[in-house]
Amino acid sequence: MIRNFYKKLAASIALFTVELVFVWLLFIACVVVFFYISSQIVQGDELGVDQAAFNFAASIASPGFSNFIEGITFFASRQFLTPAALLLVAYFVFVRKHRWYSLKVPVVALGSITLNVVLKYFFDRPRPLVPMVEAHGLSFPSGHTMVAASFYGLLIYLVWHNVKQVWLRNVLIIFLSVFVIFIGFSRIYLRVHYATDVLAGFAAGFMWVVIGIWILNRLERYSRKEITPVLLDDPVEKS
pTM of the full structure? 0.82
Rounded Cα gap, residues 117 and 138, in angstroms:
9
Omega cis (within 30) before 128:
no
Reference 181, options 159, 162, 165, 205; nearest CA is 205
Residue 175 has pLDDT above 90, yes or no: yes
What is the tens place of the pLDDT at every residue in 122-152? 998 999 888 888 888 888 999 999 999 999 9
What is the tens place of the pLDDT at every residue in 57-68? 999 999 999 999
Domain residue spans of the chain: 2-221
Q: Give residue 8's pLDDT band: very low, low, confident or very high (50, 70, 90).
A: low
> What pLDDT does residue 239 have?
40
What is the tens place of the pLDDT at every residue in 40-89? 888 876 688 999 999 999 999 999 999 999 999 999 988 999 899 888 88
Q: What angle do CA 172, 21, 5 make, to 5 degrees?
A: 80
- More confident call, 8 vs 138: 138
Ranking 104-118, 140-154, 213-227 by mean pLDDT, the lowest is: 213-227
**Dihedral sign from CA coordinates of 99, 86, 215, 148:** positive
